[in-house]
Chain A
Amino acid sequence: MRNKTFWIAYLLLLVAQLIISNFFRVTPYIMLSILPVMVLCIPTRVNTLWTMLIAFATGSTVDLLSEGVLGLNALALVPVAFLRNAVIHLIFGEELFARKEDFTLRSSGFAQVGLALLLVQALFLAIYIWADGAGTRPLPFNLYRFLASLGAGVLVSLIPLNVLASESRQ
């Protein structure tokens, strides 16, 4: 995917997230979000500083245009952006950065990409659910919500992952 096309896809997925946030609230136990995978798939040539700024802007846009507590998505998404390079280093190794390449489903395999997706999704949800509960909800509720949202989120994120981490991104 060429650079311009990536960002168009990114914006379209942002719109998709707005639709999910506003119309797909099935149960309080599930919080669907594709924002972590969107941040994870931002090309590696975009440095951490810019990734964080993009994540902050993305989260704030979703917060502003959807129901919910303003700032929560931004609060949970910035740490994903901050740790994104560390996650990529951990799972895909140093070579990716050395070759200035991005991970793709084909080059890195579903297992590695899926693990990276799981990690960023877990980080995002942990912060989001913790801040959303504000210490008022019992731990079992938060735990069920986290696990259910993680499972659903990873499944839903496979679609944007397939779009953003395709071979043509290089």
Chain B
Amino acid sequence: MIRTKSCKLLISALLSLLMVAQVQAQSAEEKGLAIAKERKSRDLGWQDSQADASMILRTANRQEIERRMRLLTLEMQDDGDKGLTIFDQPADVKGTAFLNYSHAVEPDEQWMYLPALKRVKRIASKNKSGPFMGSEFAFEDLSSFEVEKFSYKYLRDEKCDDQDCFVVEQIPAYEHSGYTRLVTWLDKAHYRAHKVEFYDRKNSLLKTLTMHDYQLYLDKYWRPMKLSMQNHQTRKSTDLVTHELSFRTGLTEDDFSQAALKRAR
């Protein structure tokens, strides 16, 4: 009895040792991917959100301008999220609406409604790396995190914002991306990104994104109230500040259709 028990114990001990060894044998790529999957899994199921936000654009010598907008987002299963941006300021673009179906490795689909023209225009472009509304954010920086968008490599553990963090390198899978790689700092507690460094096509540091003031929604979903993007080459910067955010507001696919664009005010 005792012998079999101890035998079982021994076997399970050996097994667990083996598993530890396996974890240790896990390559940096596998570990990076595992972290990315965990990050995504912790952010599933929020359904939809509506936000009031400001973009504050700054030049190298700190001149600045604020643009107001509303951001509507619909969570999609196994695809990039759908987003609807309605511009409120400046006055002459009020009511202009921008609809974006983001995709991980395919070109995004984009439409724009121009109230002065009363027409919806589809914009067909492979370009995800261009700036969003003249800011330091590219379209690809703002679209939802999808595991397939990158290949991964775990680099090291490091402190970030006084927390224990993973540092993971992400290499874009989309061939027209503007970046060679991203380096992301994620806290181990909640898998929230705290800092992202963007490297351009010649692998020079182009921009650093930092996340500030994380708030918890629906007891599960962490959202930063401020995103700061600093361009190191042009020394321009942009803050994306969220004033109000609510989840599960009852938005459906119908609210993200071309017809809905015209209704959006």
To the question of whether A and B form a pair in one complex, the answer is: no
Interface residues of B (CB under 8 A from A): none
Interface residues of A (CB under 8 A from B): none
